[in-house]
Chains A and B, each alone.
Chain A
Amino acid sequence: MAEEKKPLKVTIDNITIEVEQGTTILNAARRIGGDVAPPAMCYYSKLKNSGGKCRTCLVEVEAGSTVDPRPMPKLVASCRTNVMDGMIVKNITSEKVIDARNGVVEFLLINHPLDCPICDQAGECDLQNLSYDHGKEGTRYEFNRRTFEKYDLGPFIQLHMTRCIMCFRCVYTADQLTEKRVHGILDRGDHVEIATYIQKSLDHDFIGNVIDVCPVGALTDKTFRFKNRVWFLNPVDAHRDCPKCKGKATLWYRGDEVFRVTARKDQWGEVEDWICNECRFETKKTSDWIIEGPTKIDRHSVIAQGHYVGVQKPQEVLYDVLGGRKPKLLMNIHNVSEVNEPGRDLSKIEGPAHSTDFENE
């Protein structure tokens, strides 16, 4: 037994850490964090059996283990491959990985509608982020893209299959959170689709979570559709006494109005605690909730732009950086425009700032 508990050493992109037995390469890499963590479009740590499908998390195993140091012949899905003691893995330090990953991103995009300008997921879409990091600016695909009819999965959820990347997360969510899954995968190959058998509605207390797990805008919240862009909203953590779920959620405000409620997500974009439909779709008054404070948003996310609350005035470091040399400024634009006036609370401005916002006051 003591033998089994022994931690394993693994080296990923030249960084060595120790992890417990049974840890996947992906989770070990997430422990290191930053760019070392491969992107994951289908794996979801809270969903059993998820992963292995999208192939964005492929990594190169340069040495299998101390006992058997042979390299693995193919790239492996890091989300479904367990760490062995002495394993050496290359993620962003491997050209093969980058090449394959660029290929996967291209494959994911050839049939994607790229309708981000009208997609509710824009701004919090894993595919957008992934393409930003690994995509090409042009496409080599010169054919019609696959399209499907949109349709409603009950009163709260809309399915826009055209945007789906077949990550299977929503299927596992329904399988593992609800008693009777009524949607799944029909057909196969590039004509495969997520659907219910005969236009059934998804109506289970926890089914709304499929919206949160969907990495793209294929499953959207009908109570929020087209109401706002996520980057104009200010996310705020809040909780309530809920008889069905833990009642821990994020409220998305614009001004005083709650536009939507979602589950809270961790730094990898995964739901922390599943929330019930009542909290998500039917509890949108501030008075229903106990507010905890602003949600921590990764500053690389566009959502962070609407989130100036609590921001400190930056130190004046330019002078220091230039090693004491005073920068020579020819146009005194700071003083003229007053836009950068430190005293102004930008979070008070609703939506994108315009010059008129600065006129009076």
Chain B
Amino acid sequence: MDGVEGIRYYDVYRREGGYRSVEKALKTMSPDQVTEEVKKSGLRGRGGAGFPTGMKWSFIAKPDGVPRHLVCNADESEPGTFKDRYLMEFIPHLLIEGLIVSSYALGSNVTYIYIRGEYAWIIDILESAIEEARNAGWLGRNIQGSGFDCEIYVHRGAGAYICGEETALIESLEGKRGNPRIKPPFPAVKGAWERPTVVNNVETIAAVVPILNIGGEEYAKIGIGKSTGTKLISSCGNINKPGVYEIDMTISVEEFIYSGEYCGGIPNGKRLKACIPGGSSVPILPANLLLKTAKGDTRMMTYESLADGGFPKGSMMGSGGFIVLDEDQCIVRHTFTLARFYRHESCGQCSPCREGTGWMEKILYNIENGKGKSNDIDLLWDIQRKIEGNTICPLGDAAAWPVAAAIRHFRDEFEWHVQNPQECVKRNFGLGHYAEPLQTATA
């Protein structure tokens, strides 16, 4: 739909079939039937963890007389991820439509969009779209005579990555410091203002619209295995055509990188070195493990295939931030950049993440700047190992995984830095790990 001119505005959106899913849900379905449809679709959360959305919705507690909330996570701050931005910028009504239907399913009369503060102009777009929707009778009291009330508020974050973590987001929404909560209780039981709350990513919510329009079963037929439907991938790095692409989860990683329809290959005739397939937190994969799995199968753009091989030999779909590195990129420098990000974004609540992220950054800075020592690599490994799994929220893991994967797959490059301190400051590329495209790639 994003090809249609003026789709950002209500009239065009409606003319193109917008808000049909709201009509369908409110007039012909019960809230539980909507949830059932989402369950059938096999939709998995698009925010990073890939948790089945229908199941998440069915966990929401329903105590008598306590309001429930749906909160849309539009904090999108993971380096490499910028898919929600385009969705909200160009088709804001798709999100609003999805939110109304999802709010109906969950019984949320007051629904929030928590948006990252830097997306200032998108807030204006969303607010005028909400205004349009209200004027057309899709929001407010007794929507379309159904008896269902719903309001959507846009809440602006203040520029902290951690506020994308769902419980930190809820704290921030409540007006507090965005520190992740200690779980349990989970948001589905005690979320915003101690009320049952579901937090979903922008893309997850938007996907509910086609699910209702074509039906959950039909939706589930798209894709492979448990990776159903379509997924937005924001790709960047050393590729000819960076941008946001919608894929049905049936194409291979190689096709995605080299096909002219998507990333369009790597510029300047350079060769592929590595790729982070799902946003900065997921493990980096060297080219040889990226195009084919350790078992020798073609690696596909699906949740299962990207994770094939576990952490030692695989990665994750994550948030769909696809970062491609060509042969000229230095893994140490790259890892340092990520470590600096996580150190800056740690909320500082728990000791392993607060202290460990800073320590890793300092060591990586040294290695990158020709001041590394031979035991620094083992030390880094040990630090990431002691952060991972021992923290309150997954940011600790997200900080540890990139370091672990970089050392695991590119240890020789770290060693080269340590052994050639002068050389490594002068040139900023690694040791020539690369891969040619396989012959199957469609150009």
Contact = CB atoms under 8 A, between A and B. Distances in A.
- The answer to whether A and B interact is yes
Interface of A: 51-56, 58, 74-75, 77, 80, 99-100, 103-104, 106-108, 110-111, 140-141, 143, 165-166, 168, 184-185, 187-192
B67 to A, nearest CB: 23
B349 A166 contact: yes
**Which of A140, A165, A185, A189 is most buried by chain B, counting CB atoms within 10 A of its CB?**
A189
B44 interface: no
B40 interface: no
A254 B357 CA distance: 45
Nearest to A82: B184
Contacts of B347: 188-189, 192
Given A52-B182, A74-B389, A104-B390, A192 B351 contact: no
Contacts of A166: 348-349, 351, 354
B162 A188 contact: yes
B283 interface: no
Most buried by A among B343, B379, B386, B387: B386
Nearest to A106: B386
A268 B40 CA distance: 52
Interface of B: 160, 162, 177, 182, 343-352, 354-359, 362, 379, 385-387, 389-392
A140 B355 CA distance: 13
B357 A80 contact: no
**Dominant secondary structure of chain B at its interface with chain A:** helix
A141 B358 contact: no
B355 A80 contact: no
A184 B348 CA distance: 13
A335 B345 CA distance: 67
Contacts of B387: 103
Given A53-B349, A190-B343, 20 more contacts: A51-B182, A52-B350, A54-B351, A55-B350, A103-B352, A107-B354, A107-B356, A107-B386, A108-B355, A141-B359, A143-B359, A143-B362, A166-B348, A185-B177, A188-B162, A189-B346, A189-B347, A189-B348, A189-B354, A191-B348
A196 to B, nearest CB: 15
Contacts of A140: 379
A190 B182 contact: no
B178 to A, nearest CB: 9
Pick the 8 closest A-B CB pairs, nearest first: A103-B386, A192-B348, A52-B182, A190-B358, A107-B355, A189-B346, A74-B389, A107-B351
B182 to A, nearest CB: 4
B349 A100 contact: no
B355 A190 contact: yes
B386 A54 contact: no
Given A110-B359, A166-B348, A192 B354 contact: yes
A158 to B, nearest CB: 22
Given A188-B346, A192-B348, A75 B357 contact: no
Contacts of B350: 52-55
Contacts of B352: 55, 103-104, 107
B389 A75 contact: yes
Residue of A74, A140, A190 with most partner-chain B CB within 10 A: A190
A99 B383 CA distance: 12
Given A52-B392, A53-B392, A58-B390, A188 B348 contact: yes
Contact of B345 (A55, A184, A185, A189): A189
A110 B357 CA distance: 12
Given A166-B354, A189-B344, A80 B389 contact: no
Contacts of B343: 189-190
Most B C-beta atoms less than 10 A away, residue of A103, A108, A143, A168? A103
A56 B391 CA distance: 11
A321 to B, nearest CB: 43
A100 B389 CA distance: 10
Contact of A108 (B182, B351, B389): B351
Contacts of B357: 189-190
A263 B67 CA distance: 43
Contacts of B385: 103
Nearest to B351: A107
B160 A165 contact: no
A110 B392 contact: no
Residue among B348, B349, B351 with max Cβ neighbours from chain A (10 Å): B351
A102 to B, nearest CB: 8
17 contacts: A52-B350, A52-B392, A53-B349, A53-B350, A53-B392, A74-B389, A103-B385, A103-B387, A166-B349, A168-B349, A185-B348, A187-B348, A188-B345, A190-B343, A190-B354, A191-B348, A192-B348
